Amino acid sequence: MAPHANDPSGLATGLSATQLTTAQDSAFVVDSPNVAYSDAEILSKYNYRTTQIKRVDDKVVAQPKSSVYDFKTQRNVGKVGVMLVGLGGNNGTTVTAGILANRRKLQWETREGPRAANYYGSVVMSSTVKLGTDSETGNDVNIPLQSMLPMVHPDDLVIGGWDISGMDLAAAMDRAQVLEPTLKSLVKKEMAAIKPLPSIYYPDFIAANQGDRADNIIPGSKACPEHVEHIRKDIRDFKAAHGLDKVIVLWTANTERYADIIPGVNDTAKNLMDSINAGHEEVSPSTVFAVASILENAPFINGSPQNTFVPGCIEFAEQHKAFVGGDDFKSGQTKMKSALVDFLINAGIKLTSIASYNHLGNNDGKNLSSQKQFRSKEISKSNVVDDMVAANNVLYEKDEHPDHTVVIKYMPAVGDNKRALDEYYAEIFLGGHQTISIFNVCEDSLLASPLIIDLVLVAELMTRIQWRHDGEQEYKSFHSVLSVLSYMLKAPMTPPGTPVVNALGKQRSALVNILRACVGLEPENDMTLEHKLF
């Protein structure tokens, strides 16, 4: 079917009866000359408007700019698998049990009454976006974000992965102490049937206190080509065994220490591969997993704070046109921080210090009790306000920043119920001060697991979207570094040389507006002029 075959712009001039039928499986249909539907694709033409700034003498000159892009989105999702590094950990067992519970639409009893499976906490599955305004009532029309474009449903994901602990997932779920006993009993049989594949274990990169869990490891204690090939074969075998169209690999294992960036070792793609071949000790397990995934064209996402994507790894992904994304799940304390700091600074309030303290008792906390691993987390938590501060040159002079300290303590008794205490100290009118204190109790894995789902769903979608400048012949994919995942990550990666955005509202708008562009819709501007101009 080629609905745009006679249209030199590549798009139909409105919805034909055939196109309307083709689009009926969607939650909505865009009736526009800028959108064309076929059984296989959604094609859109999008006018991207920006403002370019030039400085002339002492003046700032703003010039509106407009560029036209074509987007092509494949509609067939296919069968998708997820391979988690750290499958037997708190997050791995929680997300697996959660998907099983949702797939079977389970209900269970708790001391607070009955509960039912849901995907609360997932921006894709449980949030809505404004589609537009009702032509009759003038009210906003909101739809689930998941219905903006064809997306894989988490119930349909096939889950597997690796862990340095050989426990089956039922035993690992008990060890994690996250889920209600009644829920665990309902999924125990299926969880017991899942056992993690052996993983690679380089003791220098994670805390020594993790050694007692390492009973399921691939021989060898430093990077080598055999480890890369072993992981590649695991991905291929998993894909073949389940008849999958694609696999997403996601790191939810222990936080590693930061890898030193060493010229000649990991600064270029060639040097990184040479270092792996030579068995250099400064190549981390997560980087080995990333390299293997890149070679298998499986998107790789880093959910921990270490610098998995050393410069050589990013260049390697670019060379292979493979997708990577990271770093560090943004679930509780940091998500609050990125929202609150954005609000305060946009309100003209000068934040002068942030003190963040948390204690937790799960295995993540145990691993982070080691100083080198804590340093990785400290870096990812400390940089989340930089772009918001830099955006306000009225409140802050160049290179001025609020004081910012982060403390994490391991307290076994509290388990997965992390306690986070934050104090925000700000300067207000005429030298006055405002102090905001927040005490946040987060069930850590129950917040992180929906983020895993979001990262997988959005990364998979990005494999089906291509774009081109208007007038170009060939479509191309997004850049290898998936900055669109930023909303879910503490230390979001962007393509080299591009700015990092940490403000939560901007991150969500970027995600939503890319989805809107793929169906030919302008960003929703919230001016509501239709209610103001009479």
Residue 418 known to be catalytic:
yes
| pLDDT greater than 90 at residue 524 | no
Torsion of Cα atoms, 389 then 509 then 484 then 455, to 10°: 110
Condensed to tens digits (0 to 9), the pLDDT of residues 26-47 reads 678 999 999 999 999 999 999 9
Condensed to tens digits (0 to 9), the pLDDT of residues 455-470 reads 999 999 999 999 999 8
Q: Is the pTM of this model over 0.85?
A: yes
CA–CA dist 411, 256 (Å, integer): 20
Condensed to tens digits (0 to 9), the pLDDT of residues 390-427 reads 899 999 998 899 999 888 888 888 888 888 899 999 99
CA–CA dist 304, 324 (Å, integer): 13
The percentage of residues in the chain with a pLDDT greater than 70, rounded to a whole number, is: 93
Q: How confident is the model at residue 491 (pLDDT cuts 50, 70, 90)?
A: confident
pLDDT score recorded for residue 380: 63
Q: How confident is the model at residue 9 (pLDDT cuts 50, 70, 90)?
A: very low
- Whether 490 and 331 have beta carbons less than 8 Å apart is answered as no
Condensed to tens digits (0 to 9), the pLDDT of residues 73-125 reads 999 999 999 999 999 999 999 999 999 999 999 999 999 999 999 999 999 99
| pLDDT greater than 60 at residue 3 | no
CA–CA dist 450, 477 (Å, integer): 26
Report the range out of 183-197, 388-402, 489-503 with the highest average pLDDT: 183-197
pLDDT score recorded for residue 6: 34
Angle at 189 between CA 183 and CA 191, to 5 degrees: 75
- Whether 286 and 262 have beta carbons less than 8 Å apart is answered as no
Q: Please state whether 324 falls in left (phi above 0), alpha (psi between -120 and 50) or beta.
A: beta
pLDDT score recorded for residue 207: 78
pLDDT score recorded for residue 10: 46
- Three-state secondary structure readout of 450-492: HHHHHHHHHHHHHCCEEEEECCCCCCEECCCECHHHHHHECCC
- Catalytic residue selected from 418, 422, 444, 454: 418
Residue 72 known to be catalytic:
no
pLDDT score recorded for residue 89: 95
- Three-state secondary structure readout of 128-153: EEEEEECCCCCCEEEEEHHHCCCCCC
| pLDDT greater than 50 at residue 25 | yes
| pLDDT greater than 60 at residue 295 | yes
pLDDT score recorded for residue 187: 98
- What DSSP element (H or E) covers 219? none
Q: How confident is the model at residue 11 (pLDDT cuts 50, 70, 90)?
A: low
pLDDT score recorded for residue 530: 75
Phi, psi dihedral angles at 144 (to 5 degrees): -60, 140
- Whether 176 and 97 have beta carbons less than 8 Å apart is answered as no
CA–CA dist 183, 186 (Å, integer): 5
Q: Please state whether 392 falls in left (phi above 0), alpha (psi between -120 and 50) or beta.
A: beta
Q: Within a 10 A sphere around the Cβ of 530, how many other Cβ atoms?
A: 9
CA–CA dist 426, 392 (Å, integer): 15
Mean pLDDT of the chain: 90
The percentage of residues in the chain with a pLDDT greater than 90, rounded to a whole number, is: 72
pLDDT score recorded for residue 12: 44
pLDDT score recorded for residue 14: 52
Q: Which residue has the tokens 């990785």?
A: 376
Beta-carbon contacts of residue 278 (< 8 Å; ≥ 6 apart): none
- Catalytic residue selected from 45, 337, 381, 490: 490
pLDDT score recorded for residue 525: 83
Condensed to tens digits (0 to 9), the pLDDT of residues 332-387 reads 788 888 899 999 999 999 999 999 998 887 777 777 766 777 676 667 666 788 88
CA–CA dist 64, 51 (Å, integer): 4
pLDDT score recorded for residue 416: 80
Condensed to tens digits (0 to 9), the pLDDT of residues 218-276 reads 999 999 999 999 999 999 999 999 999 999 999 999 889 999 999 999 999 999 999 99
Sketch out the chain's domains with CATH numbers: 80-118+150-329+492-500 (3.40.50.720), 333-443 (3.30.360.10)
pLDDT score recorded for residue 534: 64
Q: What mean pLDDT is predicted for residues 296-311?
A: 96
- Catalytic residue selected from 70, 234, 327, 328: 328
Q: What mean pLDDT is predicted for residues 54-66?
A: 92
Q: What mean pLDDT is predicted for residues 173-189?
A: 96
CA–CA dist 83, 20 (Å, integer): 37
- Catalytic residue selected from 45, 350, 377, 381: 377
Cα–Cα separations (whole angstroms), residue 242 to 73, 74, 103, 245, 250 = 25, 22, 17, 9, 18
